[in-house]
Structure 1
Amino acid sequence: MFPLDLTLEATQHFSDENKLGEGGFGPVYKGILGDGREIAVKRLPKTSGQGLREFKNEVTVIARLQHKNLVRLLGCCLEGNELLLIYDFMPNKSLDLLLFDSTKSVQLNWKTRLSIINGIARGLLYLHEDSRLKIIHRDLKASNVLLDHEMNPKISDFGMARIFSGNQNEANTNRVVGTYGYMAPEYAMEGFFSVKSDIFSFGVQLLEIISGRKNSGFYLLEHGLSLLNYTWKLWCEEKALELMDPVLVQSCVQVELLKYIHIGLLCVQQDPTDRPTMSSVVVMLVSDDIKLSEPTEPAFSIGRTTRPGQSSSDVKVCSNEVTISNVYPR
């Protein structure tokens, strides 16, 4: 437990200068403790009933998890009207801020992107199979992957996560949570989720890291195709190398690029049973000797977009607790 006065001092009373961003949970602030250690503080909005549920869930889940590719929870504060989560500070912020910025993406060369993909995969493998609990994250996306000073990825934001007990492998819900563009279709349309829902989200993220482009809103640029459909089109035409982010031209290894695209397509297949498990994905990523099965056509991707120049935080609303944005006709 962190004393409130210590947290207020560290963040300069939640000053605007210390604000790092705004997530689904609420604002996040940078803080510096008396010993010089840097922290990130999530602050629950006082009026958020949904946030209180997520707060309790996040504390319950992440306090029981320890892995180098998961963000580390240092503690929490429940004094007065404040509900705060305190984490290790990640100096390179979230993956989306680098990946989708044309000037900053040059910091992510091919070797770094492979390291990020493999780190996310290992973090998910721990959640699905190697921890004491079986965790379905349900909101894996670029903005929920934080980068430390060495660009090591840390999966964050466990407010939407679900714990499976015993031999449970799947569940249904009427409370669909997550972000359009990353959600598996069986989950978005029917509320059905499993570890394969996270696999789908991972596949989307893998293709985004390779291409440097968001799945959400992609169809406005590519004649009605989502990033997944566009990748599939290039794959079938044997032009998959065209998916590569142009900043990778000098550093990319083409054989590796094609293999990673192949794995991404396997993860976003329509039928959840056709998608590999996370343990299989991790082996496929690091091994050059495994023969990969042929992917089938990707699932229909549900996406939303924003007007050019408008940030997602300007237009996000919550409908059935799913992040969406304003919709414009094609």
Structure 2
Amino acid sequence: MKNKSGLILAILLPIQYMGVKIISEYPEFVEDYYSTGIYPVIARIMRTSLGVLPFSLGDLLYTFFIISVIRWIAIRVNTRFKNPRKWIVQIFALTSIIYACFHIFWGFNYYRLPLHKTLKIKNDYNTEELIMLTQTLITKSNEIHFELTANDSLPVPYDFKKGDLLKKTIDGFDHVSKTYPKLTYEGRSLKRSLYSIPLTYMGFNGYLNPLTSEAQVNTQITRYKIPTTASHEIGHQLGFAKENEANFIACLATINHPDLYFRYSGLTFALRYCINELYARDKEQADKLMATVNPGIRENYREVREFWERHQNPFEPIFQFSYNSFLKANNQQSGMKSYSYVVALLVNYYDDVENAF
């Protein structure tokens, strides 16, 4: 990187930052011109071109970046950090490039209209409405659970190859897009992460690479969680950047999936959110409702909980804190803990007669 061009890029960093801050104040503009305008074209091109690769190019780019950073640090240490003006400019110039690419390729979606406004539904609800939806989800979950196991005490087994679950996830979006056109998934790029083991110890189910639009799924997680995780990442690919909105998209895609196993994953995923929120509001009522959930469903929940407990480590909180801070810096004030908005979307969406179970 030449000194002059590097300096220009470094100077552009604060200008970009201010520009993003200004644009973030106009969600209607972002929605109309980026999220439903420029972004779908960019994302479709990237997914179509990179989706044909049987591996994650984004993961390889991360590997190259990490190695390059280590090499750069080694050189700086070896030269005892001489000529600081030069390497400080290099840092700001590289950050400027990454910052620009992040927002152009995906990041502006953080500033689009909230999903409840797009769906034209409310974003609040009362405890009675929450209880009604929770009861409905329990009934539906229990019914499908028994249909799959013929025994209310056994967990639902997911005897699928993990690759088949990823393929079925895409099939689910083909199905749900007939009813919800905004969930049309063109240019498929849903992949196993090369970093599944590190992701597990970091506490993550998957992630979207914003620079390549590849959805990465941690295939170390239990198969029961793959349908909602993969659907969540596709939600990100479709431009729903916020975690709570991607979780709602995951519920929508899986609950409406033609495959019973996917519907079970989606219903129990939504149920978990509702139960957690109800515990925060009315523990006694939550306990009563939880007692009506089939023991086998609770076994599936237990399997997931024990999986993450087995992989807890001293570094996980650091990764979780870092990602939580990243979310808060990108217009998600609740960070990773955003149960109430997911529940608000579920309650008000399914309160609509046309969308009712």
Normalised to the residue count of structure 1, the TM-score between the two structures is: 0.30
The structure with more helix, counted as a fraction of residues? 2
Normalised to the residue count of structure 2, the TM-score between the two structures is: 0.28
The structure with more strand, counted as a fraction of residues? 1
